[in-house]
Amino acid sequence: MAAFVVDRKSEVTVDATVNQWGNSLAVRLGKAVATVAGAAEGSPIRVSARPGQIVIDVGPRVPSLEEMLASYKPEKHGGEAMAFKPVGREVL
């Protein structure tokens, strides 16, 4: 498999071969391709097919709980969900 690197940060073009893997077909992604695409083992991907073309898009990475909590800003996300006076028996 030969690779032609255009720019390590923006594009990598690789010639690859489709191989048999069990009852399916597979293409191996080299480290350079995975790095530029932002893919790692376990990354969610979307595979689309059109006549003569297969497109693999790396899905959005799901942030960890720690990352979500670190991004919490009370001034933006805090406060009352319903900022109006109670209208019934919901008073605690």
Distance CA(54)–CA(66), nearest Å, equals 35
Give the model's pLDDT for residue 38: 87
Backbone angles phi, psi at 30, to 5 degrees: -75, 165
Backbone angles phi, psi at 2, to 5 degrees: -105, 140
> Quick check: 4 pLDDT over 60?
no
Q: What's the whole-number mean pLDDT along residues 2-31?
A: 81
Q: What's the whole-number mean pLDDT along residues 12-30?
A: 93
Provide the token pair at 20: 């048999």
One-letter amino acid at 57 equals: D
Could you tell me the pTM of the whole model? 0.53
